[in-house]
Amino acid sequence: MSTETITLEEFMTGDYPSYEYVKGQLVPMPEPTMEHGEISSNIHFLLSTHVRQHQLGRIYTAETTFPIGKSGRKPDVAFVSQEQLPDNRRQASPVPPDLAIEVVSPSDKAYDIQEKVFEYLDAGTKLVWVINPVLKTVTVYRSQDDIKILTRNQTLTGEDVVEGFSCSVEEIFA
């Protein structure tokens, strides 16, 4: 962890491509594996195709920082609805994503992932998907009490957040 002390505002307007800002600290993000990149690309492609076709908003990659409470987080993939999109998109996002997607990396700790999920939900993110490459599952969070785990043969949907979106969990890992 970096000992450099900056504010959330400085982080959101600065250039910190390999870091997230958590609890007042710069936290290095691990280098993604090829598997992580493939899964992120798959879900990005599936969502982007649907979102663009139906003009629902925009899909963002892990280079985009979102304000999540007192943190600056970079979900692996994120969706911001048309209604939430700011007029000026030549800046860091002023709003949390409507949907945040995290792909579990080998170096991730379960506690840290859970903490991040709850931060997203507390900040106003409506839906969080945690994709586990080892188990080939997607855990869907609507709240701290509304959690479901989907397996390979089940269908993942965008519910009321990314309306009309669905794919088999298997497609994410193909």
Rounded mean pLDDT, 71-89: 93
CATH architecture of the region 32-172 = Alpha-Beta Complex (3.90)
Q: What is the pLDDT of residues 103-131, one digit of tens each?
A: 999 888 999 999 999 999 999 999 999 99
Mean pLDDT of 85-91: 86
- Domain boundaries along the sequence of the chain: 32-172
Locus of tokens 């195709």: 49
Closest by alpha carbon to 174, among 26, 46, 15, 6?
A: 46
Q: What is the pLDDT of residues 125-156, one digit of tens each?
A: 999 999 999 999 999 999 999 999 999 999 99
Q: What are the residue ranges of helices labelled H in the chain?
A: 8-13, 34-54, 110-123, 169-172
CA gap 112, 68 in Å, rounded: 15
Strands ordered across the beta sheet of 137-141: 57-61, 77-81, 99-103, 127-132, 137-141, 147-150
Do residues 139 and 129 lie in contact, with contact meaning Cβ atoms separated by under 8 Å? Answer: yes
The whole-model pTM stands at: 0.90
Distance CA 114, CA 143 (A): 12
